[in-house]
Amino acid sequence: MPLDRSPLVGRATELDVLRRALERAGAGHGGTVLVAGEAGIGKTRLVTELLDGVPPGTLVAHGQCADSGSGPVPYAALTGTVRGLVDALGTDAVLAAAGPAADALGAIQPGLVAQRPGVATGRGPEVLVDLLTTLAGERRVVAVLEDLHWSDDATRSALDRLARVARGTSLLVVATYRSDDVDRRHPLRTTLAELDRSRLATRLDVEPLGTDDVAALAAAVEPQGAGVRDLGDLVERSGGVPFYVEELARCLDGDLPVSLRDVLLLRYSRLSPEAQDLCRAVSAAGQRVPHDVLAAVLGSDALSAAEPALREAVDAMVLVVEHDGYRFRHALLQEAVADELLPTERRRLHTAYAEVLTALPATVPRLAEIADHWWHAHVPARSLQAAVAAHAAAGHDAASSTAVALGERALEQWDLVPDAAQVTGTLHHDLLMSVARAQHHASRIDRALALARQALAEWPADDPAGRARTLGQVGVHMLRTGDEAGRQHLDEAVRTAPADAVDTVGPLLRMRARTAMLDGDLDTAVDTADRALATADTDAERSRLLNIRGVARSDRGDLGGMDDLEEARRLAGAEWDALSRFHTNTSDQYVKQGRFESARALAAAGAELARDRGAGWGSRAMLEGNVAEALIGLGRWDEAAAWYERCVPLVAPSQFAVYLGERWTWLSLWRGDVDRAQTMGRRGRSEWLRLGRIEAQVRSRTWATLAELALERDDVDDALELVAPVLEPGRVSGAYALAVLAVAARAAARARDLGRPVDVGPYRQMLDAAAYWPTHGVWSTVFAAELGEAPWSAVAALGPAELAPAHLRPYALLRDGQAHLDDEDRPGARELLSAAARSAQEIGAGLVLDRAHRLLDDAGLGPSRPRATTPSTGLAGLTERERQVLDLVADGLTNGQIAERLFITRKTASVHVSAILRKLGVASRTEAAVLARTA
């Protein structure tokens, strides 16, 4: 039965956009179209018209989001998508196309396939995206996701991934949402903003109809009413919204309803009492209800007797028939009819739905519905019981928004139910910790910490093991907010845990060892891991601990650490959590050691295993992030940049997100997108430095990258301030220290050029202390070259065999060419700068390429420009930033005003002015200003 009998009026332009997108997908140039508009504007009608005209052989998968009242129904749209694929292809074909990870689809479509035990359920959306991509390799595929304003985390994640993979395939993604329901705080806004920024989607705004189109639609819906005098009122009252036009057109020959509610209920109010009763019963279920559920609620005999009423409601286009049930023609209509329920009807119907659904197999969406029905039925005990059960079933992965909403609801209801612990089978402090975990997975760390602290305050004194576990979690949450006091909480948790509570002591020791390892407290990490190994009773746990100990030993220069990592792989066996840690940690060690191809191969193998096993996005992202960093070292920058662009926005806020954001910023800088890199660094700086306090890798990379950005702004003071902490005992060592010291040398050299010598002795001592690290030879050579103590040709000679990253060669050639220019060796400079440009071009180092070309052009050595004449004044010796400062001096600005104008410190402005006076050979600012004006 058609979803709508009215014609499509006034949407030729919008339909043309969709049809052209469909044609492009057929030619292998898929994409994403976001259809936005207010409620009733005709988004679904537009999509339906597109789907009615798809060419033969096109596969259509159609899903719709839903709201349970407590939040988005988890997997609602994805369930419809999978169901559509199964209906079109059959179960066996769908599972075969999904490959080894097919069992993940069981979390989306219960009963489709048995799920392997112990595998994360949150991987379902990823597997569905991979499935649609695979199918699009064989035919044109249209994936429709409707009502994204009710989307859950899983659906938004799937949309983002679909948009990123659709290009270059035969996949067209069409998504709809109510623009008036998506305010600035709506979680969908982030996804939409990222798709827009990345230019991964075409936005199609569906606007209200014009006067002529309103008249045409009204005439088509109710020919007898066309042209009557109330048409002007119809245009005004409907606002050009097609749904309202159709409803109002039915009464053009009478008085128009005053309120929106009356408009919505026009057709419903004309039904017989029996049909109205039936519609109210359907409305309590939500926008749609399966036939078997409705039959169970009303009784089979009653539903059979109600067939005439059903037919009446369908003929009046209040209800629409689906293959397995009924739904309201429009969500607004369902909401209006549901408001018609009397209190007694509401309680009776919601109770009936809850009981019927409870008798069916439990799934996350179904449990969420049950909790919602008991809530509306005003049965506090059952509502609380269902909310706790649904919260637990929702988990803390792809359905985290539902887990949070249901968990918070359960906490709100707890005090309303006598003997709540007995009713729910859980204790309040346990529920607090469970909701805290959900909040953490939803990236609401502050709320997670508050709940964990409340749980600790309530924890029974006679359960020291539980208190220790909770205290440890409080410490972890504190650390994740950047609060270093979390370390003391972890230490106290370890101290106070009963020695005989192995299941508590072991995990706490592992958390403590990992925290110490990340912080660079390597001796503590090794000692704590050894203690935990003495009590570990499974190979998987021993593997995790050896991963931690192996990294710590390796970072402090103990080659036996790599042996620990290999043993960790053996002990991991097929246990994915332990195995993923091996691939992640060992590939990271290879990156730090300059063994970039080994790092890439191992991380890529781990990512492939993750895909084969259907692992969640979190572990895959860490492995793929290591692949991207290895690609940077190998000089495959376009590949790395594409990964960061595509994936970093998908990673939840965390230390890992900070690390990826920093690497993306560094790569953007060196690729020549300086303005973007500066913006990224400015936005992230506070968070990076805060989280850097608890992780050595984050702090070292952050110091180095922010310092490089400061040098790019010629803010030497800021650069020196950023690298100074590398000298503090215990802050960084080995590879992490070397990453900062090379930048420190550059900053010191720049300060010296400005006439402000910096004592590099402490930095040199730090460099010597890191002599044990495999890449020390590379970075000590760079350190010396930056300070003018070694030729840049020595750096340019370093390659993969010497464990050097790819960008050092073009950078060194640039600096060497610049030095030859300073020495007036023009032929040598031209050869070196040209070589720098070629080398930079090969890897995509736009920063080096631009500077090499600029130096060649400014010196008259470029292939397409005449040689520049040598200026007759000392102005040629000024840097670009010094020329900016000189211009401001000539305008009469003070050092403070210059600092404010150029966003530098007053001290840096003063240093620049002193350098300018020295280079120009003048004694005062006035003389410098005269030279600037007469040049």
In three-state secondary structure terms, 146 is: strand
Distance CA 330, CA 322 (A): 14
Confidence band, pLDDT 50/70/90 cuts, at residue 316? confident
Classify strands 141-146 and 59-64 as parallel, antiparallel or unpaired: parallel
Distance CA 220, CA 243 (A): 13
Distance CA 647, CA 184 (A): 23
* Residue 674, burial from CB neighbour count under 10 angstroms (0-12, 13-18, 19+): middle
Confidence band, pLDDT 50/70/90 cuts, at residue 475? very high
* Residue 560, burial from CB neighbour count under 10 angstroms (0-12, 13-18, 19+): exposed
Give the per-residue pLDDT at 872. 35
Chain-centre distance of CA 278, in angstroms?
Answer: 44
Q: What is the mean pLDDT of the chain?
A: 86
Say which amino acid occupies 267.
Answer: R
Chain-centre distance of CA 205, in angstroms?
Answer: 25
Give the per-residue pLDDT at 281. 95
State yes or no: pLDDT of 662 exceeds 90.
yes
* Angle 745-749-754 from CA coordinates, rounded to 5°: 150
Check: CB of residue 30 under 8 Å from CB of residue 24: yes
Please say whether the dihedral angle defined by the alpha carbons of residues 317, 320, 321 and 323, taken in this order, is positive or negative: positive
Distance CA 700, CA 703 (A): 5
Distance CA 30, CA 48 (A): 19
In three-state secondary structure terms, 729 is: coil
Distance CA 483, CA 247 (A): 58
Provide mean pLDDT across the span 613-640.
Answer: 86
Q: What is the reported pTM?
A: 0.69
**pLDDT tens per residue across span 266-298:** 778 889 999 999 999 999 998 889 999 999 999
The better pLDDT of the pair 739, 365 is held by 739
Distance CA 556, CA 551 (A): 9
- Which residues, in sequence order, are CB contacts of 428 under 8 Å at separation 6+? 414, 420, 421, 458
Give the per-residue pLDDT at 239. 78
Confidence band, pLDDT 50/70/90 cuts, at residue 816? very high
Provide mean pLDDT across the span 659-687.
Answer: 94
